[in-house]
């Protein structure tokens, strides 16, 4: 009987390794983990509200997760966390919106920890990540979990990050799991260049009963049950990589910008009122984040024609050679 159990575990771990196809745990070659101290973060979440989940979703009489509070999710990653509980939710806000720049745009920090003897394995508690550009409609990153679903992951078992994609908590403490807004381009009602809210939803881990499903309908095997006050996703921080500045009136170096008319009919003029910076780009996107025009600004007055587009809301983004961006909302009559 013991031989059979060992064989099963060997088989499952072999099976997992064959299937593993995503980036491995922090510190291993090919990992996409971003260290909290990497210097890539321009900003951190500034507001957080928490809806706690139960310590055990199947036994509500035990009460709710209770460790930490919303302040633990604000500011730079520091390994101090707030516990969400089974299916608990955290809503995060930021001083400036997040935009879809090259590569990952923000990263989520949890407090998972490594297996002492196998650096590819870690104790991980997972969360779905959703974003919104209006604070009302949220859209979930398509998550993938290839962790086996035959044996329940428990409060003392370890999983392989290489089986996980687009799930917060994939990486150990002080290493952020990156999210790239490219994955959500073209969804009606979401502007990937103006993300105002990020939401974390605890993955409920039982492989039977209250299972959470990934984007392919697979059950996500996440530690369960964990009937403790520290139950569920432990949110440490959200770091912003691509931060959007909302005013284009003033650029660095005392450069003033005037965009008119707004609302517009035939088009808008982008007027630079003094010393002209080189490499300044303007990009016009529609409400779903699709880029309609991209122009290198080469003159003090630059006209962007809009007569061919339907009425509605558009975004004009200016960017400089240092990667800074500024956003102006344009209403087309």
Footprint of Ca ion (CB under 5 A):
72, 78, 80, 100, 105, 180-182, 202-203, 205, 222, 232, 236-237
Closer CB to Ca ion, residue 24 or residue 178?
178
Helix (H) or strand (E) holding 43: strand 43-44
* CA pair distance 199, 57, nearest whole angstrom: 20
Cβ at position 262, least distance to Ca ion in Å: 27
Closer CB to Ca ion, residue 107 or residue 203?
203
Residues 34/237, Cβ–Cβ less than 8 Å:
no
Cβ at position 77, least distance to Ca ion in Å: 6
Cβ at position 263, least distance to Ca ion in Å: 30
Closer CB to Ca ion, residue 241 or residue 270?
241
What is the token pair recorded at 298?
Answer: 């080469």
Residues 288/186, Cβ–Cβ less than 8 Å:
yes
Closer CB to Ca ion, residue 72 or residue 257?
72
Cβ at position 174, least distance to Ca ion in Å: 10
Give the burial string for 189-201 (b: 16+ CB within 10 Å, else e). ebbbbbbbbbbbb
Cβ at position 184, least distance to Ca ion in Å: 10
Cα end-to-end span (Å), the chain:
75
Cβ at position 177, least distance to Ca ion in Å: 14
Place of tokens 């990653």: 77
Closer CB to Ca ion, residue 31 or residue 193?
193
Residues 258/189, Cβ–Cβ less than 8 Å:
no
Closer CB to Ca ion, residue 173 or residue 205?
205
DSSP 276: P
């Amino acid at each position: 009987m013991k031989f059979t159990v060992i064989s099963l575990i060997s088989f499952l771990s072999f099976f997992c390794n064959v299937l593993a196809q995503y980036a491995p745990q922090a510190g291993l070659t090919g990992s996409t983990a971003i260290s909290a101290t990497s210097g890539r973060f321009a900003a951190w979440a500034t507001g957080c509200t928490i809806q706690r989940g139960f310590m055990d979703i199947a036994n509500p009489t035990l009460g709710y997760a209770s460790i930490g509070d919303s302040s633990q999710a604000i500011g730079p990653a520091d390994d101090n966390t707030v516990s969400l509980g089974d299916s608990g939710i955290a809503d995060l806000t930021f001083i400036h919106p997040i935009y879809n720049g090259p590569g990952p745009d923000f990263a989520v920090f949890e407090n998972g920890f490594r297996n002492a003897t196998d650096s590819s394995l870690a104790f991980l508690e997972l969360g779905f990540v959703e974003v919104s550009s209006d604070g009302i409609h949220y859209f979930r990153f398509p998550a993938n979990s290839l962790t086996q679903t035959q044996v329940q992951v428990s409060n003392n078992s370890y999983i392989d990050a290489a089986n996980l994609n687009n799930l917060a908590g994939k990486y150990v403490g002080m290493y952020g799991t990156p999210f790239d807004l490219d994955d959500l381009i073209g969804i009606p009602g979401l502007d990937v260049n103006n993300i105002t809210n990020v939401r974390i939803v605890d993955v409920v881990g039982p492989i039977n009963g209250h299972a959470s499903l990934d984007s392919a309908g697979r059950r996500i095997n996440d530690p369960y049950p964990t009937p403790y006050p520290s139950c569920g996703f432990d949110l440490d921080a959200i770091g912003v990589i691509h931060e959007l500045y909302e005013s284009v009136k003033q650029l660095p170096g005392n450069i003033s910008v005037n965009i008119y008319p707004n609302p517009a009919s035939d088009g808008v003029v982008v007027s630079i009122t003094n010393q002209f910076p080189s490499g300044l780009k303007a990009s016009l996107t529609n409400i779903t984040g699709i880029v309609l025009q991209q122009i290198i600004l080469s003159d003090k007055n630059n006209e962007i024609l809009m007569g061919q587009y339907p009425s509605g809301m558009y975004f004009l983004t200016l960017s400089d050679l240092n990667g800074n961006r500024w956003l102006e909302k344009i209403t087309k009559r």
